Chains A and B, each alone.
Chain A
Amino acid sequence: NAGVTQTPKFQVLKTGQSMTLQCAQDMNHEYMSWYRQDPGMGLRLIHYSVGAGITDQGEVPNGYNVSRSTTEDFPLRLLSAAPSQTSVYFCASSYSARTGVYEQYFGPGTRLTVT
């Protein structure tokens, strides 16, 4: 299994540009989440999903959109990037009704810089 994969690893955007951060998992996990990590602030939850077609907001959702059309994929969209969105973004997945696993597995992260 590849686990949780994220693309790209690094990205530089100009203010106002849009982009999608990709996240995929091959563990058949129902739950997926997006976090951002800023210096001195730990990781904060942006959006999460408990299954295909179901998403909800986390602690810091403004400026981000998500959708979950399949169990495997959970893309994060920035519609109009702002310098305040410069951060490292982590995708995570968890929970399998089949195996009873509840731990969150994290992807390798995407470092995004908005100039």
Chain B
Amino acid sequence: AQTVTQSQPEMSVQEAETVTLSCTYDTSESDYYLFWYKQPPSRQMILVIRQEAYKQQNATENRFSVNFQKAAKSFSLKISDSQLGDAAMYFCAYRIRGATNKLIFGTGTLLAVQP
């Protein structure tokens, strides 16, 4: 069975500093996608970044970047220059190619940003 594990229930970072959120996953598939979603107190799920498993290059979106280690089945999210608006719950998610609407989520990491 495919599973996604986030081992850090809570993290804290100082404003302007860098923080890394961890995610590991278990799958026997070779072609899949990985995602990080942000859920602020408004409850809205916001896609932060996406990584295709067949791409060796790590995805980046402005201050957000990932460290994708396919052999280790690891997919961490790095937030640089943290801002107060980054405070939220962050979910790691996985799906296989073709299963467009069947995401498997981790349990989330609650990120606090200290001024």
Contacts and interface: CB of A to CB of B under 8 A. Distances in A.
A104 B101 contact: yes
Interface residues of A, number: 27
A43 B101 contact: no
Given A94-B100, A103-B50, A42 B105 contact: yes
A58 interface: yes
Interface string B35-78: 00000001111010010000000000000000000000000000
Contact of B103 (A41, A45, A50, A93): A45
Looking at chain B's contact residues, is the secondary structure mostly helix, strand, loop, or mixed? loop
B105 A44 contact: yes
A94 B91 contact: no
Interface string A79-103: 0000000001010111100000011
Interface of A: 31-33, 35, 40-45, 48-50, 58, 88, 90, 92-95, 102-104, 106, 108-109, 111
